[in-house]
């Protein structure tokens, strides 16, 4: 039974961990054969309650585009929120994604017309972004949440995440410090 639990918990382990999306370099991605990024929105690109992209996020999208890396926003948030954020960036989006379920990840992969091995999933939540990406067989990058406050449902997820991260740290699976 313990082996099964360990195996299950590994599904919550990201392939990489960075401070922010700004630490994700398009040249490094290209060297790894990456052609597409599926990114979360809230607390990954901007604070969960910020309506618009910052100048730095606009530049990050432009850098990715310049180097031929497609970016799709996949968010569990509603259409209005995701559309208002995505349209000025001229980027494709998936709202009400229901992550960690795999439908949104498959839809994004199909939209970008790339193989799973050519994708990364970027997000701030282990329970949705990392688990969903791992279950879909896509390389995952966990970012530190932009702000420490969260929406109602995310607060619940964070409590579970802290327990999983504590276990991973104790087992030597992660080597970064929690916020």
pTM: 0.84
Average predicted confidence (pLDDT) for the chain: 88
Task: Determine contact, residues 177/158, Cβ cutoff 8 Å.
Answer: no
For the segment 39-68, the average pLDDT, to the nearest whole number, is 94
Q: Which domains does the chain have, with CATH numbers?
A: 12-170 (3.40.50.1000)
* In the predicted structure, residue 5 carries a pLDDT above the cut 90: no
Give the pLDDT band (50/70/90) at residue 179: very low
* In the predicted structure, residue 165 carries a pLDDT above the cut 90: no
26-35, 60-69, 160-169: which range is least confident on average? 160-169
Residue scoring higher pLDDT (168 or 2) = 168
Instruction: Give the per-residue pLDDT at 150.
Output: 58
User: CA 60 to CA 21: how far, in whole Å?
Assistant: 8
Give the tens place of pLDDT for each residue, 105-133.
999 999 999 999 999 999 999 989 999 99
User: CA 105 to CA 111: how far, in whole Å?
Assistant: 10
81-117 as b/e: b if 16+ CB within 10 A: bbeebbeebebebbbebebbebebbebbbeebebeee
Tokens 């960690």 belong to which residue?
A: 100
For the segment 153-159, the average pLDDT, to the nearest whole number, is 66
Give the tens place of pLDDT for each residue, 10-53.
788 899 999 999 999 999 999 999 999 999 999 999 988 888 99
Instruction: Give the per-residue pLDDT at 60.
Output: 97
DSSP lists the bridge partners of residue 143 as: 18
């Amino acid at each position: 039974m313990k082996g099964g639990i360990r195996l299950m918990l590994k599904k919550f382990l990201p392939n990489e961990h960075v401070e922010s999306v700004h630490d994700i370099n398009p040249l490094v991605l290209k060297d790894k054969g990456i052609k597409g990024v599926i990114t979360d929105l809230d607390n990954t690109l901007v604070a969960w309650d910020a309506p618009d992209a910052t100048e730095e996020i606009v530049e990050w999208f432009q850098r990715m585009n310049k180097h031929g890396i497609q970016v799709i926003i996949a968010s569990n948030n509603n259409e209005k929120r995701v559309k208002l954020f995505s349209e000025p960036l001229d980027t494709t989006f998936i709202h009400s994604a229901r992550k960690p379920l795999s439908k949104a990840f498959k839809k994004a992969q199909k939209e970008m017309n790339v193989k799973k091995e050519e994708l990364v999933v970027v997000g701030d939540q282990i329970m949705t972004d990392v688990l969903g990406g791992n279950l879909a067989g896509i390389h995952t990058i966990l970012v530190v949440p932009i702000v420490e406050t969260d929406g109602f449902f995310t607060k619940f997820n964070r409590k579970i995440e802290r327990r999983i991260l504590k276990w991973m740290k104790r087992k030597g699976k992660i080597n970064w410090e929690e916020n």
